[in-house]
Copies of this chain bind each other. A is one copy, B any other.
Amino acid sequence: MGKAYDVMAATCPSRTVLHRIGARWTVFVVLALGDGPRRFTQLKTRIEGITPKVLTETLRALEADGLVRRTSLPGNPPGVEYALTDLGRSLGGPMRAVSEWAESHVPEILAARARYADAEA
């Protein structure tokens, strides 16, 4: 039997999953939570350039998809902790692979872009 889901199929639910994964800030949040639970402010600091609004939205979306668990800490001072679920942790591998690919191929890509810009001028 073939696989149950196929991203090439127009109406396959895996497309919605891929869409969530590909959202602008998802990768950063998943990576930032890779070493363990973090507070909202820690995430905001670590992920440079993210605004609180977008961070909230991203965390909510990941929580809705079961990738992140949000826990209120009733201690003093009260706080909120975000952690990856097992499901979220299982996405960490592929995400790390993609971000490491990005980090390690920057020079080639910048060079290609420069070449392309030249060629069309």
A residues sitting closer than 8 Å to B (CB atoms) are 3-10, 13-14, 17-24, 27-28, 31-32, 46-49, 63-67, 87, 90-91, 93-95, 97-99, 101-106, 108-113, 115-117
> Contacts of A47 on B, CB cut-off 8 Å?
8
Per assembly, the copies of the chain total 2
Known contacts A7-B28, A112-B65, A97 near B93 by CB under 8 Å: yes
Q: What is the minimal beta-carbon distance from A16 to any residue of chain B, in angstroms?
A: 8
Q: Which of B21, B23, B46, B66 contacts A102 (CB 8 A)?
A: B21
| Beta-carbon contact of A5 and B106 below 8 Å | yes
Q: What is the minimal beta-carbon distance from A103 to any residue of chain B, in angstroms?
A: 4
Question: How many Å lie between the Cα of A65 and that of B114 in the bound state?
Answer: 9
By beta carbon, the residue of chain B nearest A5 is B103
Q: A8-B28, A14-B103, A94-B98 are in contact. List 20 more A-B contacts (CB 8 A).
A: A8-B47, A8-B48, A10-B49, A13-B110, A14-B102, A14-B106, A17-B105, A18-B27, A18-B102, A64-B113, A65-B109, A65-B113, A66-B108, A66-B112, A66-B116, A67-B112, A87-B105, A91-B105, A94-B97, A94-B101
